[in-house]
Structure formats: C-alpha cells, structure tokens
Structure 1
Amino acid sequence: MSSELRLRIASGLVLAVIVLAATWVGGLPFRLLSVLIAMLVYYEWSTITRLVEVDFRGNAFGWAITAIAGGMIVLGEGELALVTVAVASILSLLHALWSRRSFWLPGGIAYAGLTALSLASIRADDATGLIAMLFVFAVVWATDILAYFVGRAIGGPKLAPAISPGKTWSGAIGGAVAAVVAGCGVYLLFFPSPGLWVPVVAFVLSVFSQVGDLFESFIKRRFGVKDSSRLIPGHGGVMDRVDGLVFACFAAFLLGLAATHGQRTVASTGAFLLGL
C-alpha cells in the first residue's frame, strides 16, 4: 500500500469518526460542524473563483453574510438564517447585474449558506433527525461507491464527457439503484416496511448527489483547478468530499420547505424525508 493511499485512508477515517460522532450527539455540536463546513466551503469557493482578486469588497460581504448566518444557525435560528442568506443572495445578484460584476459571489453566498442550513435542518435536535441524517449519508455514500465501481466494471456511454470524462451512465444508474437499497435498508432498521415514498426520496437524493458532483467538476474545470483546496490530506478540499452530500441536502431541505410551505423548516425536514 502506497504512503499516499495510507494517508487518504487515515484522514478519511478521522473525518468519518468526527462527522458520525457529531451526528450522533446532534444539537449544538452538529450545528457547529455544519457551520464549519459551510465556512470552509465558502473559503474554497471564493479561492477557486478568485473572488478576492476580482471583487474584494464583495468577497468581504460574502464572508460577513456566511459568518452572520452561521451564528444564527448555531443559536438555533434557522429560519432567520434562511431569510438572511436569501436576501443577501438576491441583493448581491442584483448588484452583479447592475455593475456587471462576477456572478460567482451570489452563487457562493447561496451555496455556503444552504450547506449549513440544510445540514442543520435535516439533523435538527430529535431522534427523527438522527435517522434522517443517517438516511442521507447512506444514500450519498452508496451512490458514490457503487457509481465508481459499476462505472469501472461496465463502462459504456459517458454521462457528461465535457465536464467529467470518467463518469458513465452505467455508473450513474448503478449508484442510484444502490442508493435506493441503502436508503430502504436504513429505514427498515428503525421502522416497518417502507412505502413508495422512501425509495422515491432515496432516488431523488441520489440524482441530486450526482448533480452536485458534476457541478463541482464544472467549477473546477471552468477555473482550471484539480482540487478545491488541500485542506484534507490525501483528499483535496472540503468541497471535493461534500459536493454530493450538500446537493442531496439542498434537495431535501428545499423539498421539505416547499412541502411545509415555509413553516417549521428546521424541525420538519427530517420527518418529511422519512415520510412521517
């Protein structure tokens, strides 16, 4: 085993222990983890897109909004954080249109803000949130692992050759099937036989997870970078590791928000995911 692979495995295990421990505890520790991930995501986004160089004051505004929204999330004010991120994203978008500046600033504010919001919303502070978060982890991890192995084993037509030449339709389908199986498996550990809702949600989250992976590949290819950063030894950056997860969480959060018409957004996302 090469030293690079050993480093990759070791850092991956450390990260898994930290994330799963925070998920198990929930509450403030998980909200802090969610905000930390969001801050690191904004750092990598602004670095990749060179916001410091092209829009220094805008980037400072993005940092301020991410920090303010993060503080609200830590204090349990998810709804207020959502309003803050939404208003800031819209204002920065209008400013970009008016002044013909980069659109990467509003994108970064929305991406980082929704990262913290969606993670905290799904986990929340109850047992349902714990199960829902484990459900999402299972769906995303199964998608990633099986998409890789099925794609390598079967090959075939490329999924998006201009963005990520290594991904195939066979891998995407294999990952989605694995996600449905994994999601139903987690559900059955805690509840009776799942209805149609559970596999449908697992499939939707798997699709969004793969879209998130492609989205990050598009950004890196657009700016000519290999990894989002070097923050994680052997793995690259935080965005490299959570791209699929955050998009799956985005989907769950926004679908839950739509289903509840904006009411009890933080408390209801986990129950929505599990069809409870």
Structure 2
Amino acid sequence: MSPELQQRVLSGIVMAAVVLAATWFGGLPFQMLAAAIALLVYFEWSRITRLTERNFTGNLVAWVAVILLAANIAFGDPDMSMPLLSGFAITVALMVMIGGGTWWLPGGLLYAGLSGVSLAAVRQGGAPGLAAILFLFAVVWATDILAYFIGRALRGPKLAPRISPGKTWSGAIGGTVSAVIAGAALTLAFFGRVSLWIVVLAFILSVASQIGDLFESFIKRRFGVKDSSHMIPGHGGVMDRVDGLVCAGFVLFLLALVSGPLRGHVDVTVAEFLFGL
C-alpha cells in the first residue's frame, strides 16, 4: 500500500469514527458536529469563491452570521435556527443589492447554514432521529459508492461532461437503484416494514445527492479549483466529502418543514415525516 493510500485510509477511519460516534450519541455531540460542518463548509466556500478579495466587509458580516448560527445549532434552540438563517441571509443579500458585491456571498451563507441546520434537524428526536440520519447516510453512501463502481464497470454516455467528465448515466442510475435498496433495507431493519413512500423518498434523496455532487463540481470548475481545501489528508476538503450528503439533507429537511403546515401542525420532526410516526 502506497503512503498516499495509507494516509487516505487512516484519515477515512478517523472521520468515520468521529461521525458515527457523534451520530450514535446524538444530542450535543451531533449538534456540535453539524455546527462544525457549517463553519468548515463556509470557510471552504469563501476560499473557493475568493470572498475576502471580492467583498471583504460582506464576508466579515457573513462570518459573524455563520458563527452565531453555528453556536445556536450546537447550544441553542433548534426552532430558532431557520429564522436566524433566513434573517442573516436576507441581510447579506440586501447588502449585496444595495452596496454591490457578489451573489456568491449570500449563496455561501445559505449553503453552509443549511448544511448544519438540516443535519442537526434530521438527527433530532432520540431513536427515531437515529434511524432518520442513518437512512440519509445509507442512501447517500450507497449512491456515491455504487455509482462509482457501476459507472466504471458499465461506462456509457456521460452524465454531465462539462461539469464532471467522469460521471456516467449508468453510474447515476446504478447509484439510485442501490440507494433505494439501501434505504429500504435500513427501514426494514428498524421498523420491520417498507412502504412505497420510503422507496420514493430514497429515490428523491439519491437524485438530490448526485445534484449536490455536480453542484460542487460546477463551483470548483467555475473557479479553477481541484479540491475545496486540503483539510482532510488524502481526501481534500470537507465540501468534497459532504457535498451529496448536505444536498440530500437540505431536501429531506425542507420537505419535512413544508409538510408540517400541511398536516395541521408545525412541529413535525424529520423522522416523523420520513417514517410516518
């Protein structure tokens, strides 16, 4: 095994151990993990898009907003996270509209903020929250891993050659089918039953995960960057590792958020929305 591969494997084991331990315990450990992801994603976004050079004052304000939001995710009231994020994003957007600057600034604030808010919300709620976050992991990881191997084996037409030349339609379809199987298997293991609803959601989240992957590839290609950072030895940056996860998390969280008023109350947890509890 080459030194580079050894480094990649070792850092991967450490990452997996930290994430799975925080996931298992939930509560404060996972909330702190979600807050850290929000901060690191914004750091890498601002680095890729060169926000300090392009809009120093706006980036400083956005950093304050992300730090305050991360503090609320970790230690504050979960119900305040979305109002805080919305208020901060509107404020920064108005700064850009009035004073000029780049729209990558409010975009980065929303992307990083939703990363932390949505992941914390998915894990919320004890054992059902654990099942919900593991469902999300299963769908995203099955999509990512099987899309890679099936795409390499079958090849065929490219999915988005201008954005990510290595991705194929065969890999995308294979990853989605694998995600549906993984999501159904996890639901069966936790609840002893699988519904069409679970199959549909697994399909939607798998597609969202692949869109998230392509979106990050687009940003890096747009700014001529290979990796979002070199923070994780052998793996690149945090965004490189969580791009699909956070996009699928956005979709799951926002669907649950919208479903609350439709069900007659606003306090529907992601687990309740996902598993019909």
Instruction: Tell me which residue corresponds to 1:107.
Output: 107
Question: Deviations for 1:30-83, whole angstroms, at most 9, x for unmatched residues?
Answer: 000100111000100000000011111111111111111111122241221211
C-alpha contact 2:58 2:95 (8 A) present in aligned 1: no
Deviation at 1:92, TM superposition (A): 1.6
Give the residue type in structure 1 aligned to 2:181.
V
Give the match's secondary structure for 1:193.
coil
Instruction: Tell me which residue corresponds to 2:10.
Output: 10
Instruction: Tell me which residue corresponds to 2:165.
Output: 165
Instruction: Tell me which residue corresponds to 2:130.
Output: 130
C-alpha contact 1:198 1:275 (8 A) present in aligned 2: no
Deviation at 1:95, TM superposition (A): 2.4
Gaps spanning 5+ residues in structure 2: where? none
Deviation at 1:100, TM superposition (A): 3.1
Instruction: Tell me which residue corresponds to 2:241.
Output: 241
Residues 115-264 of structure 1 correspond to what in structure 2 (within 5 A)?
A: 115-261=115-261, 263-264=266-267
Deviation at 1:6, TM superposition (A): 1.2
Give the residue type in structure 2 aligned to 1:263.
V
Instruction: Tell me which residue corresponds to 1:33.
Output: 33
C-alpha contact 2:22 2:29 (8 A) present in aligned 1: yes
> Within 1, Cα distance between the matches of 2:63 and 2:243?
20
Give the match's secondary structure for 1:260.
helix
Give the match's secondary structure for 2:166.
strand
C-alpha contact 2:125 2:271 (8 A) present in aligned 1: no
- Provide runs of 4+ in structure 1 moved above 6 Å: none
> Within 1, Cα distance between the matches of 2:276 and 2:96?
40
Aligned length: 274
Give the residue type in structure 2 aligned to 1:154.
L
> Within 1, Cα distance between the matches of 2:17 and 2:33?
13
Give the residue type in structure 2 aligned to 1:244.
G
Deviation at 1:151, TM superposition (A): 0.6
TM-score, normalised relative to structure 2: 0.96
Residues 65-84 of structure 1 correspond to what in structure 2 (within 5 A)?
A: 65-84=65-84
> Within 1, Cα distance between the matches of 2:78 and 2:56?
28
Gaps spanning 5+ residues in structure 1: where? none
2:43 is aligned with 1:43: yes
Give the residue type in structure 2 aligned to 1:238.
V
Q: Which moved more, 1:57-66 or 1:175-184?
A: 57-66
TM-score, normalised relative to structure 1: 0.97
Q: Name the Cα RMSD after superposition.
A: 1.1
Instruction: Tell me which residue corresponds to 1:20.
Output: 20
C-alpha contact 1:197 1:275 (8 A) present in aligned 2: no
Residues 50-65 of structure 1 correspond to what in structure 2 (within 5 A)?
A: 50-65=50-65
